[in-house]
Amino acid sequence: MLDRVKTLIGEVGSFETSSKQEIEDFRIKYLGKKGLLNALFAEFKNVAPEERKAFGQALNQLKDAAHEKVRALTEKLDSNQEQTGIYGDLTRPSDPIDLGARHPISIVRNKIVDIFSRIGFTVSEGPEIEDDWHNFTALNLPEYHPARDMQDTFFIEKDPDILLRTHTSSVQVRYMEEHQPPIRTISPGRVFRNEDISARAHCIFHQVEGLYIDHDVSFADLKQTLLYFTREMFGKSKIRLRPSYFPFTEPSAEVDIYWGLESEIDHKITKGTGWLEIMGCGMVDPNVLKNANIDPEVYSGYAFGMGIERIAMLLYQIPDIRMFYENDVRFLSQFTPAL
């Protein structure tokens, strides 16, 4: 009889399962009212007196082992079920990772760069923290020039010579200092102006400025380049140039495209005229060429500049410039590329 109990103790110790039903069957087999333990305890009276102590100890060992086995298997099963509930089936393939979206500013910037790269323009970049020479003086804006008031500037640590660039024209100056004509480059980048933030204006925005310098460059060359750009960017083939003033170009002009009056939105964004201003341009002032050590008697050139946010707002009908900087996923997810 004692040997049978020891055999049962070994069977209990080796029993393993991950089935809730099998655990319950095991419990009933050993610990139920009609289970083996109750039957063995009933046989206790038939055991020889000299064996009763060892038999009783073996029965208690079997009972404890059965209880411990049921407890351990139940906890293990509950733990596995909880892990599956939190993480799902860990053996199944993972869900595909959602693709991100390019920011609309990046989309428009890349499109502008692509359009001009087709006609030979390279991309040039420069520092966002600039000095007075490259941001103002070299661009025909000497100290105390009244046109400096057109651009409210962020100065660094109250140093009048170090500032956050107010336009990417500073990149063009640096490029002219380092390269000799022919020059054909565009300068996309972030610029800063001390302006009140509203639906139509921001203290941080992005520009793309273009520069072409070579022998016998004329205003007609500028016009044809701008006409090419508006056709590629907007699908519009009608532009007009209005006289304007910029310190670093002479003559200077504002560029308008005929947007049309086909919808209520067209009437709203063009204020009922059908025309929409998109950029400024002009022939590079001879003083700017001299400041960059380029002989204005030999070379001439044109320059143009546009705001990327303004172009993006037109293309995507975005009513508030602040939406570009709020990082709202509901807004940005609209620009997710189609698969």
Of 18-22, 87-91, 286-290, 302-306, least confident by mean pLDDT is 87-91
Asked whether the beta carbons of 325 and 90 are under 8 A apart, the reply is no
Rounded CA separation 31/310 (Å): 80
Higher pLDDT, 70 or 253: 253
Position 338 scores a pLDDT of: 46
Structure tokens given for 133: 């020479």
Rounded CA separation 32/11 (Å): 17
Position 116 scores a pLDDT of: 96
Q: Is the pLDDT of residue 280 over 70?
A: yes
Sign of the C-alpha dihedral computed for residues 109, 111, 112 and 113 taken in this order: positive
**What is the average per-residue pLDDT within 214-220?**
96
Asked whether the beta carbons of 288 and 248 are under 8 A apart, the reply is yes
- Domain positions in the chain: 2-87, 104-334
Which band of pLDDT confidence, cut at 50, 70 and 90, is reported for residue 177?
very high
The share of the chain scoring above pLDDT 90, in percent, equals 43
CB atoms closer than 10 angstroms to residue 23: 20
CA-atom Rg of the chain in angstroms:
40
Structure tokens given for 272: 């009922």
Which band of pLDDT confidence, cut at 50, 70 and 90, is reported for residue 81?
low
CATH fourth-level superfamily of 104-334: Bira Bifunctional Protein; Domain 2 (3.30.930.10)
**DSSP H helical segments within 88-195, as ranges?**
104-117, 132-135, 169-178
Q: Residue with structure tokens 């139940």?
A: 74
What residues contact 242, with CB distance under 8 A and at least 6 apart? 253, 254, 256
Distances (CA, A) of 60 to 46, 53, 56, 69: 17, 11, 6, 14
Position 90 scores a pLDDT of: 67
Which bin fits 39, alpha (ψ -120 to 50), beta or left (φ > 0)?
alpha
Which band of pLDDT confidence, cut at 50, 70 and 90, is reported for residue 198?
confident
Rounded CA separation 316/270 (Å): 15
Asked whether the beta carbons of 134 and 124 are under 8 A apart, the reply is no
Higher pLDDT, 61 or 298: 298
The share of the chain scoring above pLDDT 70, in percent, equals 92
Mean of all residue pLDDT scores within the chain: 86
Q: Of 92-106, 150-164, 174-188, which one has max mean pLDDT?
A: 174-188
Of 49-53, 132-136, 210-214, 320-324, least confident by mean pLDDT is 49-53
* Burial state string for 280-290 with b = 16 or more CB within 10 A and e = fewer than 16: bbbbbbbbbbe
What residues contact 338, with CB distance under 8 A and at least 6 apart? none
Position 148 scores a pLDDT of: 66
CB atoms closer than 10 angstroms to residue 297: 8
Which band of pLDDT confidence, cut at 50, 70 and 90, is reported for residue 82?
low
Tell me how far the alpha carbon of residue 129 is from its chain's centroid.
23
Position 72 scores a pLDDT of: 86
Position 151 scores a pLDDT of: 60
**What is the average per-residue pLDDT within 61-75?**
84
**What is the average per-residue pLDDT within 167-190?**
95
| pTM for this predicted structure | 0.69
Strand runs labelled E in 63-158: 122-123, 129-131, 155-156
* Residue of 138, 164, 161, 136 lying closest to 149 (CA atoms): 136
